[in-house]
């Protein structure tokens, strides 16, 4: 499957902990986007990387960080977790850095207890 792959599917952790979410983009895509979807909220744009470099930043908390590696996979690191960080985190990829349709992964459901 050459689509967007996100791991893990589910993650349950305690407050104060740190987790890493992983995303492998669709084959040939250079951009990776991260979104957070909380209950009754839309998709909140967090951050975008293009070919290894940060391209755009949205409403990403300072406790969160991300990077894109030379093989183009990306990781989203969430630290000092709070109950309110419980959400579905989506990764999406596109072939260019602006305006192309996004291809989404299935998301990682994070539960902070």
Partner 1 sequence: AQRVTQPEKLLSVFKGAPVELKCNYSYSGSPELFWYVQYSRQRLQLLLRHISRESIKGFTADLNKGETSFHLKKPFAQEEDSAMYYCALSGTASGTYKYIFGTGTRLKVLA
Site for partner 1 in 9-38 (CB under 8 A): 33, 35
Q: For tokens 């987790």, name the residue.
A: 19
Q: Centre a 10 Å sphere on the Cβ of residue 105 and count the other Cβ atoms it contains.
A: 23
Task: Tell me the closest approach of the beta carbon of residue 43 to partner 1, in angstroms.
Answer: 4
Q: Does 55 bind partner 1 (CB under 8 A)?
A: yes
Site for partner 1 in 83-112 (CB under 8 A): 90, 92, 97-99, 101-107
Burial of 88 (0-12, 13-18, 19+ CB in 10 A): middle
Q: Using the rule CB under 8 A, give the single segment among 13-21, 53-61, 62-70, 75-83 that binds partner 1.
A: 53-61
Site for partner 1 in 57-86 (CB under 8 A): 58
Task: Tell me the closest approach of the beta carbon of residue 104 to partner 1, in angstroms.
Answer: 4
Q: Does 41 bind partner 1 (CB under 8 A)?
A: yes
Residue 2, token pair as written in the block: 């050459």
Among the listed residues 36, 42, 53, the one whose alpha carbon sits nearest the alpha carbon of residue 91: 36
Q: Centre a 10 Å sphere on the Cβ of residue 14 and count the other Cβ atoms it contains.
A: 9
Q: How far apart are CA 6 and CA 4, in angstroms?
A: 7
Residues engaged in binding partner 1 (CB under 8 A): 3-4, 33, 35, 40-43, 45, 48, 55-56, 58, 90, 92, 97-99, 101-107
């Amino acid at each position: 499957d050459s689509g967007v792959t996100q791991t893990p599917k589910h993650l349950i952790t305690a407050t104060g902990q740190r987790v890493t979410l992983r995303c492998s983009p669709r084959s040939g895509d250079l951009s990776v986007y991260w979104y957070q979807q909380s209950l009754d909220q839309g998709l909140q744009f967090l951050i975008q990387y293009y070919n290894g470099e940060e391209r755009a930043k949205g409403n990403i908390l300072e406790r969160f960080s991300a990077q894109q590696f030379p093989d183009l996979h990306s990781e989203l690191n969430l630290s000092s977790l709070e109950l309110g960080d419980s959400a579905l985190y989506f990764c999406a990829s596109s072939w260019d850095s602006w305006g192309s349709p996004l291809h989404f992964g299935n998301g990682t459901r994070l539960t902070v207890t």
